[in-house]
Amino acid sequence: MSGSASLFPAIEPFRSFHFRVSKIHELYVEEVGNPKGQPVLFLHGGPGAGFNSQHRTLFDPKHFRIILFDQRGAGRSRPHAELRENTTWDLVSDIEKLRNHLGVEKWLVFGGSWGSTLAIAYAETHPQAVSHMVLRGIFLCRKSEIQWFYQNGASWIYPDVWEKYLEPIPANERGDLVAAFYKRLTSPDEQTRLDAAKAWSGWEGATVHLIPDTTTYLKFTSDQMAVSLARIECHYFTHGCWSKTSVK
C-alpha cells in the first residue's frame, strides 16, 4: 500500500491489555475490528519497533478480528528495551501463548520486515495454528542483509545520512559496526546508550523510505523508540537472530 488513502479508516481497539509471558516480560496487546471475525495477527518490524495506530487500518474491520501486540521490550510492552529473555524463540513461544489465551484455533499471520522473519519462524514451529500468511518487505535476518544495511552497501545510497550513523563510533572500531554499536548500546552509561541508539535508529528512520520522510525520522529518533529499536535490533543481529540454521 502506497499511502493512507488506500487504508481503512482509523479505528480504536475494542480491547487492550498487558499479557504476562515470563517472570520478566509483559506484552501489550490490542484487539480491533470484528470480535467474531476471522483472526489476523499483525507482527511488527524491528525487532523492537512496536506497532502503531496506522497498523490497525491495514485490515477490513468488518471482516477481521485484528490482533496486534508489541513484542518483548518494544512499544508499550514491559520492561522497555529489555534484552534478557529476548530471543526469536521467546517471541515464537509468546505468539503461541497469546493464541491459546485468546482462544484462537487458527489465524492469518501478517508480517513485514522483521515481522516476516518472525512469521516464518512461527509458522514453521506451529503450522497447525496458521491458516494463511501475508508477508511484505521480506527480511530474513541473513548475514548478507545485515552487512549490506549496517556495514557496507546502503552507505553508498545515503552517504550523507551514513556520516551521522558513524558519529558515535571511533574510526578504529568501524570494521565491525554492529559489534561497535552493541558495545555502546549495552553500556552502563545512559548517555552513551542514548547517543548510540539515536545514531542507529536515525539511520534506519532516514532510509526506510526511498524519499526521506521527516515524520518518520522524528519518530525513529524519539528517545523511547530509538532505545528499544536500536538495542533490540542490535542484540538480535549480534546473535544471528538465533537462527537454527546457518544463513549467509
Q: Is the domain of 175 the same as that of 97?
A: no
Rg (alpha carbons) of the chain, rounded to whole number:
18
Rounded Cα–Cα distance for residues 69 and 32 (Å): 11
User: Which of 244 and 148 is assigned the larger pLDDT?
Assistant: 148
Last residue of a domain, one of 138, 167, 200: 138
Q: How many domains does the chain fold into?
A: 2
Rounded Cα–Cα distance for residues 231 and 18 (Å): 22
164: domain range? Answer: 143-242
Mean pLDDT of 142-148: 96
Phi-psi region of 217 (alpha: psi -120 to 50; beta: other; left: phi over 0): alpha
Q: Is the domain of 158 the same as that of 231?
A: yes
Q: What is the pLDDT of residue 5?
A: 55
Q: Is the domain of 126 the same as that of 12?
A: yes
Q: Is the domain of 151 the same as that of 220?
A: yes
Three-class SS of residue 110?
Answer: strand
Rounded Cα–Cα distance for residues 124 and 195 (Å): 38
Q: What is the pLDDT of residue 45?
A: 96
Q: Is the domain of 19 the same as that of 58?
A: yes
Quick one: pLDDT band at residue 245, thresholds 50, 70, 90? low
pLDDT digits (tens, 9 = 90+) for 174-222: 999 999 999 999 999 999 999 999 999 999 999 998 888 999 999 999 9
**Prediction pTM value:** 0.94
Quick one: pLDDT band at residue 6, thresholds 50, 70, 90? confident
Q: Is the domain of 119 the same as that of 153?
A: no
Last residue of a domain, one of 121, 138, 155: 138
